[in-house]
Chain A
Amino acid sequence: MPSIVAIRDLRKQYAGGFQALKGVSLDIEEGEIIALLGPNGAGKTTLISTVCGITIPTSGSVTVGGHDTVTDFRAARQLIGLVPQEINLEPFETVMNTVRFSRGLFGKSADDGHIERVLKSLSLWDKRDNKIMTLSGGMKRRVLIAKALSHEPRVLFLDEPTAGVDVELRKDMWDVVAGLKASGVTIILTTHYIEEAEAIADRIGVISKGELLLVEDKAALMTRMGQKMLHIHLSQPTEAVPAALAHYNLSLEQDGRVLVYTYDTAKERTGITKLLTDLAATGLVLSDIETRQNSLEEIFVGLVKEDA
């Protein structure tokens, strides 16, 4: 099946000479949620802006639903909904009017039934006649999503949808995204919250300094990059790692109460059985054992550091 969004060697150099995108290629499958993760200034917003037509690419091409975003921009843009990072709304308009306007702008004939469904799904229906300036920050962000969904797009770009949003609202937003995915919308979101990518994405792309460092299935990424740590709690603290265990590269933590063994889950042999056997031979008594997996955050920091 051809991908719904195909980005080919996309480059963007701003007038000042800054290279925001250095040849990004990416295929996005219909119906998936892909999270683009990267520090501030990595090129996430430029990538989205270029796909949506707000920024003119220096070179490279993008197709959406098979339509080139430059030569066949009408067909391509009709499929796209964009939720910008900044809360860009006209303060004096009502929610209903501004959402209706968005639908019309995309060439769709008026359909208040659809708009009602969108507003209800975002818990905005009660606020439909309110002026936007009277809404809270979280509600305004929902209005932006409603505008983006007003013309029934097949691809939705969410540029940092939860930046500056409190924890509760962030969870709400994740529910909204999950609901959209269920309705078949492809979602591309940028974030610098690792937990967000971890919580809702199917695939994760890491962008740094205008380059896409990797794109991988979330679970595969975490397994591939993930190191696990075996924490061995001792009933009596020990002063040093016994010589017999030296080749396991153990580290001693918590005043000698915990031995930490780091291993790679992708390896065929993790060495745990042998370690535990050897450990028993040293006469140390165990009180507890636990394993911990690297979070995406640790993987991410490792990647971006490597790149620096």
Chain B
Amino acid sequence: MNLVAVRSIYRFEMARFFRTITQSLVSPVLSTSLYFVVFGTAIGSRINEVEGVSYGAFIVPGLIMLSVMTQATTNASFGIYFPKFTGTIYELLSAPVNFLEITLGYVGAAATKALFIGTIILITAFFFVDLTIAHPFAMIAFLILTCVSFALLGFIIGIWAGNFEQLQLIPLLVITPLVFLGGSFYSVSMLPPVWQTITMFNPVVYLISGFRWAFFGQADVPIGLSLLAIAFFTAACVTAIWWIFRTGWRIRQ
């Protein structure tokens, strides 16, 4: 294991993040604050409690998930796409590193950034709503797992993407809709029965449900199922990345 290389990639990527710290943090914090103002306060004041929780507090886990998933995906996809774009990927390919080390470096950095942003948003939320966390350790574990698994997904997207448009495509067309329809702003039980069934095919439902359970002790789906879903998703991403490096798909001729 070339740990020096893993650390070098990680540091290099984190340096990029800290160099643009203002724009890295201001925009997610600002947009989340807007959600709180619009949904939590303006509209939320007219909505009854959802599952015994005020609407403003109810949407906090969903909002954090929305940011974390988007940030982890875009950070990781950009992190590996940029060397492809500038051509510096030649160095990664000719260095004494294997797929695991490259992945650890890039995905680790992207997950750290997402975790950072998720934490900032959580802190921001305390300024807007009364919030209690029922299972703090489970909350942290879910947050980290989500950061890592979506950074893995982003890494795959970054390797697949052939241009900047494709880089934006999956987060915009797939992740955002899935998160919005995954119960970020409502409880699945509020949907008509047919839509409840359809929703169960949305993988994000399991993540948001599990995360919300960590906050309020109640969930749309059993917590075990949530854990299983995220474990399966992570395993699928790791397998895909292993296959990509083994075959050289899109990176090695």
Contacts and interface: CB of A to CB of B under 8 A. Distances in A.
A107 interface: yes
Given A86-B87, A90-B88, A77 B95 contact: yes
A121 B109 CA distance: 34
13 contacts: A55-B253, A82-B94, A86-B87, A90-B82, A90-B83, A92-B19, A100-B8, A101-B12, A105-B5, A105-B8, A106-B5, A107-B96, A107-B97
A54 to B, nearest CB: 5
Contacts of B19: 92
Interface string B14-31: 011001000000000000
Contacts of B94: 52-54, 77, 80, 82
Contacts of B90: 54, 82, 84, 88
Nearest to A48: B94
B8 A101 contact: yes
A104 B96 contact: no
Given A89-B86, A97-B15, A105-B9, A74 B2 contact: yes
B252 interface: yes
Contact of B96 (A82, A92, A102, A106): A106
Nearest to A91: B86
A56 B9 CA distance: 24
Given A87-B87, A90-B86, A107-B5, 16 more contacts: A14-B253, A54-B90, A54-B252, A56-B252, A74-B96, A82-B90, A84-B90, A86-B87, A88-B90, A89-B86, A90-B83, A102-B91, A105-B9, A107-B2, A108-B4, A109-B4
B92 interface: yes
Interface residues of B, number: 28
**Secondary structure of the B side of the interface?**
helix
Contacts of A147: 91
B93 interface: yes
A49 B11 CA distance: 27
A193 interface: no
B248 interface: yes
Given A14-B253, A55-B253, A104 B88 contact: no
Contacts of B15: 97
B21 to A, nearest CB: 14
A54 B83 CA distance: 14
A91 B19 CA distance: 14
A97 B13 CA distance: 11
Contacts of B92: 105
Nearest to A77: B96
Contacts of A75: 96
Given A56-B253, A97-B12, A97-B15, A105 B97 contact: yes
Nearest to B93: A54
B248 to A, nearest CB: 6
B248 A89 contact: no
B93 A53 contact: yes
A76 B94 CA distance: 10
Nearest to A100: B8
Contacts of A55: 252-253
A106 B253 contact: no
A41 to B, nearest CB: 15
Contacts of B95: 77, 105-106
A153 B31 CA distance: 49
A74 B5 CA distance: 12
Nearest to A157: B94
